[in-house]
């Protein structure tokens, strides 16, 4: 598979999975920024070694 074909396939997969996400839409940049700011601003001092997924629920929606 060429790099171009892989890019096309990746875009198609993302589009397909985006429709399956519980939010049923892509995130706005501000929504991702809010997630990053929440963790980065030090207001969650008891969160260590955790992964905070800002994926619209897609990680639980795809088997």
| pLDDT score at 21 | 66
Asked if 12 contacts 46 with a C-beta cutoff of 8 angstroms, the reply is no
- DSSP string for residues in 1-63: --HHHHHHHHHHHHHHHHHHSTT-SPPPHHHHHHHHHHHHTT--TT--S-----STTHHHH--
The confidence score (pLDDT) of residue 17 equals 62
**pLDDT in 10s for each residue of the chain, 63 residues:** 788 887 787 777 777 765 666 777 778 889 889 988 888 887 777 777 777 788 777 777 665
Per-residue confidence (pLDDT) for residue 30, from 0 to 100: 92
């Amino acid at each position: 598979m060429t790099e171009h074909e892989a890019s096309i396939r990746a875009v198609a997969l993302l589009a397909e999975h985006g429709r399956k996400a519980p939010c049923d839409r892509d995130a706005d940049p501000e929504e991702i920024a809010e997630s990053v700011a929440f963790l980065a601003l030090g207001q969650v001092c008891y969160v260590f070694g955790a992964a905070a997924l800002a994926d619209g629920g897609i990680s639980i929606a795809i088997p």
